[in-house]
């Protein structure tokens, strides 16, 4: 739905039944908690039946309660403070085993990413990267770890990679000032979205660079400025950003690009000789001493 769900609820308040108004008022004042409640739990919290909650979602023209819940989650994920994230996470996990709960959630995000990824956009992004004159990779805050991982492996395969990093000595725009047509800019951002990344991606797009957005939603500002959008499900584990699925998507991207480069085997053979000559890695003999 194009309209913000909270605005939608407010605009329809006068049409709701008594029970639906209880649900609406709770969501409007406790949206951070309601977004992660089951229909049954939400009903018990406001003292209405589960079926009333389901009908409430239908009244808002959602295809069932899960669809309404998803819209609410997407709306708020970029708005939650670190404290709210911890509170919501504690409510979700409850007394469950933390390890199992977090890892099960991560596995589910990978499964959803695999099933929902647009393969045509993925293949087009691979083609654009292989053909690029120069490749700029940028991500800030927690997404900076993803950008660094991607840049490391791209650096082994290409000689035209620019890792645009956060630095006290150099502004992001100083590092991408020469971006131009024929280049590819890869931006990575997940909730809470970085304003600096969004602005840099928009700048690159305006300069004629092809833009690839690796993010979690096709409706966010960065995705709207991109030529190719690769969606990966992210989540929050307390105040921590859970980026397992985005990292798995990046692994798939690296493998696909390696398969497209005809000189990749010869290139890595040269690297292996250099690594061995200069003792880059610990040898098996050293390990066994």
Average pLDDT taken over every residue of the chain: 85
- Residue 24's pLDDT is 93
User: Contact 216/231 with Cβ under 8 angstroms?
Assistant: yes
CA distance 205 to 50: 47
The secondary structure element, H or E, covering residue 135 is strand 135-139
50: exposed, middle or buried (C-beta count within 10 Å: 0-12, 13-18, 19+)? middle
Residue 144 has pLDDT above 70, yes or no: yes
Residue 71 binned pLDDT confidence (cut-offs 50, 70, 90):
confident
CATH class of the domain at 5-76: mainly alpha
CA distance 157 to 166: 23
CA distance 173 to 178: 9
What fold is seen in the domain 114-261?
A: Rossmann fold (3.40.50)
Tell me the average pLDDT across 230-251. Answer: 82
- What percent of the chain clears pLDDT 70, i.e. is strictly above it? 86
Residue 79 binned pLDDT confidence (cut-offs 50, 70, 90):
low
Write out pLDDT tens, residues 161-202: 999 977 645 688 888 989 999 999 999 998 878 888 899 999
The secondary structure element, H or E, covering residue 229 is strand 228-231
CA dihedral 43, 8, 220, 102 (to 10 degrees): 0
Q: pTM to 2 decimals? A: 0.69
Omega before residue 192 within 30° of 0, cis? yes
Q: How many CA atoms lie less than 13 Å away from 35 in the CB half-sphere?
A: 23
Residue 81 binned pLDDT confidence (cut-offs 50, 70, 90):
low
What are the counts of helices (DSSP H) followed by strands (DSSP E) for the chain?
16, 7
Residue-range domain boundaries for the chain: 5-76, 114-261
- What percent of the chain clears pLDDT 90, i.e. is strictly above it? 48
Q: Is 82 helix (H, G, I), strand (E, B) or coil?
A: helix
């Amino acid at each position: 739905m194009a309209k913000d769900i909270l605005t939608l609820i407010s605009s329809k308040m006068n049409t709701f039944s008594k029970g639906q108004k209880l649900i609406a008022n709770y969501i409007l004042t406790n949206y951070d908690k309601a977004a992660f409640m089951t229909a049954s739990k939400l009903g018990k919290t406001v003292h209405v039946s589960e079926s009333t909650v389901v009908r409430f979602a239908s009244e808002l023209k959602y295809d069932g309660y899960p669809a309404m819940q998803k819209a609410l989650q997407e709306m708020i994920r970029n708005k939650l403070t670190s404290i709210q994230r911890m509170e919501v996470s504690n409510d979700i996990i409850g007394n469950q085993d933390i390890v199992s709960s977090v890892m099960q959630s991560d596995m589910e995000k990978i499964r959803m990413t695999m099933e929902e990824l647009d393969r045509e956009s993925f293949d087009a992004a691979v083609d654009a990267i292989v053909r690029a004159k120069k490749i700029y990779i940028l991500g800030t805050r927690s997404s900076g770890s993803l950008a660094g991982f991607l840049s490391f492996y791209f650096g082994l395969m290409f000689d035209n990679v620019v890792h645009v990093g956060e630095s006290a000595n150099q502004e992001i725009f100083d590092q991408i000032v020469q971006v131009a047509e024929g280049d590819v800019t890869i931006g990575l951002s997940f909730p809470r979205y970085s304003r600096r990344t969004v602005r840099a991606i928009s700048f690159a797009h305006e300069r004629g660079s092809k833009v690839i957005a690796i993010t979690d939603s096709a409706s966010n500002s960065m995705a709207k400025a991109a030529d190719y959008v690769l969606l990966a499900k992210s989540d929050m584990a307390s105040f921590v950003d859970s980026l397992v699925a985005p990292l798995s998507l990046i692994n798939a991207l690296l493998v696909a690009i390696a398969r497209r480069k005809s000189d990749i085997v010869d290139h890595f053979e040269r690297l292996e000789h250099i690594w061995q000559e200069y003792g880059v890695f610990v040898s098996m003999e050293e390990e066994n001493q």
